[in-house]
Chain A
Amino acid sequence: MRIAYLFALSPAVVGVVLGAIAWFKPETGVDGTPGALLALVGALLVVIGSLLTMTSRLSGRAAWTLKALTGLGAALTAIAAWFLMQYAFAIAMALALFGFALALALSNRSAAA
């Protein structure tokens, strides 16, 4: 059920796009700010984390560390985007977090079966 991580990956990619708009586009209110750059980098890391989780053959502690960091990254990026008043970006990252949790649950269920 690794394909389930697409539930996280897709909104995270949308988050990267929205984060890039927030940081690059003039007059977003946060363009060029360290906070917007941080959130953009956060969204990128969530994309990478989701991809790695989906494709890598990591197992044991390393796999759980990657999953935990990706989930934490999605949560913190959503919070950051909220305080940047980039609400669509925040919702995208919240969906990424939800999708990631869903994928985790599905893959655990699949492993248990």
Chain B
Amino acid sequence: MSNLRTGAGKRSVQWTLLILAVLLSCLPVLVLVVSSFKLESQIFTFRPVVLFRPHISAYLFLVDKFPQFFRTLLNSTIVTLGACAAVLAISIPAAYSYSRLFSRRRARSSYYLIAVRMFPPIIILIPLYPALRAIGLLDTYISLIVVYAAFQVSLSTMILKSFLDGVPRELDEQTYIDGCTRLQSFWYVTLPALAPGIISSAIFVAVFAWNDFDFAFLLTGRHTKTAAIMISEMQGMVQEGALNYGDLFAAATIHVIPILIFVFAVQKWMVKGFTVGAVKG
């Protein structure tokens, strides 16, 4: 009987800790989302307003008076999709090569990928910024996409290689017997089997590109400014009194929701990628 009681006691402690940890992770984000539906007067009180009728006035304001935000959201979408495409186009062949065409010399070349992953992004901006400026590539999509790709191809190659190692070679060999070329066999057999790996590495690129502050802060300008940078500027405007808190919260909510849904949807593959990325690669 007493055993049962301590067992139940232990269980409730575990539940309490879990709930507290979940609240700590989610409550700050939830407060942001909820507050974006408040009126400014409901935000601007010291005593928090918990129950209120939701208003969408902040969102209407963004649409009516602050359309530049949506332009930056479009920019974020373009560079995120561009970076995903670029990284996959570069790292799928590389991963295939490391997984299927093994030679010691080829394997040694991966030291280059490993070493480069250790470079802090910010130190590359010091030489890159004046160089891009000199050749007129500041504030272009292409420079941002290429820089994102360079910092993500290494992880992506490692994730894809590890997934490819799990796709049985017999599958390819079977198709050679059927008279397929290597390319055909790759396209029709290996690539579909690699789908989870592709999703897994695309998540990392997408989250990185969508959320990036360090690079976009310096490499974008009037034409290519991403939403992450815009939100940071809007925060400055709020502090100067040129913008309402509610409008800032609405913009931040719009920025967070798509990536949050994406991460939720693909969580299974994400965890696998982390394991490969941090422990293996």
Say whether A and B bind each other: no
Give me the interface of A with B, judged by CB distance under 8 Å.
none
